[in-house]
Amino acid sequence: MSSSVQSRAHRLRLMSGRDPDEQHRAATPLELLYDLTFVVAFGVAGEQFAHLMAEGHFAAGLIGFVTAVFAVCWCWMNYSWFASAYDTDDWAFRVATMVQMVGVIILALGFRRSSTPSTRTPSSTTPARLQVMW
């Protein structure tokens, strides 16, 4: 196998800590797509807040927005910490990243259907939390 083919092989790797002295690490296309899912989630939360404000429900909109942003930030923070500490870049890590992305999109889709934060957050963050337990 040539060295270029070996570098593209994403076999399972032992989960170990990342080298703290690693320099000049660029973001992968998957990481950039991952960040875009959070952009969508923040956009949907902001849209719902603006919609509720236009209807005169400022308090409900603010509570929902703060709850939604907290849930999205919590998912982002947990996975970003995990990814920066254990970046193995194998197929299992990529699948876990995609599960997290699906969980965030499900969470964002739940912002529109539910008017109370307590009914949307636990059910929609489950896929996002599954990847951390994996």
**pLDDT tens per residue across span 13-69:** 666 776 777 787 777 888 889 899 999 999 999 998 999 899 999 998 899 899 989
Per DSSP, 128 falls in state H
Nearest CA-CA partner of 103 in 129, 132, 74, 133: 129
First to last CA, the chain: 31
Decide if 19 is inside a domain. no
In a domain? residue 113? yes
| Domain presence at residue 44 | yes
Does the residue 99 lie in any domain? yes
The Cα 34–Cα 94 span in angstroms is 11
Which domain covers residue 59, as residue numbers? 28-133
Residues 103 and 31: their CA atoms lie apart, in Å, by 15
Whether residue 21 is contained in a domain is answered as no
In-domain check, residue 78: yes
Q: Is the pLDDT of residue 88 over 60?
A: yes
Arithmetic mean of pLDDT, 89-93? 80
Identify the residue with better confidence: 120 or 83.
83
Segment among 75-84, 97-106, 118-127 with least mean pLDDT: 118-127
73 vs 60: CA distance, rounded Å: 20
Residue 22 lies in a domain: no
Helices (H) and strands (E) in the chain, counts: 5, 0
Q: So what's the pLDDT on residue 50?
A: 92
User: To the nearest whole percent, how much of the chain has pLDDT over 70?
Assistant: 70
Q: Is pLDDT larger for residue 10 or for residue 6?
A: 10
Block residue for tokens 């956009």 = 43
Query: What's the pLDDT score for residue 40?
Result: 92
pLDDT at res. 28: 82
Contact (Cβ atoms closer than 8 angstroms) between residue 112 and residue 68: no
Count of domains for the chain: 1
Is 2 among the domain residues?
A: no
Confidence category of residue 113, pLDDT binned at 50, 70, 90: low
